[in-house]
Amino acid sequence: MSPSRQSHNRDRRRRRRTRDKFNAMPKYVVSTTLQHADWNNSTIIADDVPGRVRALRERENVIVWGSPTLVRMLMAENLVDEYVLLVSPIVLGQGKKTLPEDGTRHTLRIVEQRLLDGGMLALRMTPASV
């Protein structure tokens, strides 16, 4: 088997393992419009989001993926222990804002930084008070 074919097969196995792991883990979808979640192991959170997130944090790690509105709510409730931001070397000048615009200061401390393939920068930060 050629080296490129071996590499392709390795990547495919890695993607399959990642997919299977993600599909198996519990997922919580914060929504006021969805009635049910079709993805396996998914639960809808429709009300008392801060309270439900506090209860979840007692049992497990909570990861927010792709919801600026939810991030702002959790920041306001001091429910964020760690931020992982991916900074792209491309500036578009538009899009949804992740951080609150109310003037509240959130001082963060960088605990890890890593340059990824393609030039993207991964920053792992915690609130400076932690």
Exposed e or buried b per residue across 24-58, where buried means at least 16 C-beta atoms within 10 angstroms of its C-beta: eeeebebeeeeeeeeeeeeeebeeebeebbeebee
pLDDT by residue, tens only, the chain of 130 residues: 677 777 778 888 889 998 899 889 899 999 989 988 888 899 999 999 999 999 999 998 888 887 888 988 999 899 999 999 888 888 887 777 777 778 788 899 999 999 998 899 999 999 997 5
Instruction: For residues 103 and 92, give the distance between their C-alpha atoms in angstroms, rounded to a whole number.
Output: 23
Q: Which residue has the tokens 């909570």?
A: 62
Instruction: For residues 83 and 130, give the distance between their C-alpha atoms in angstroms, rounded to a whole number.
Output: 12
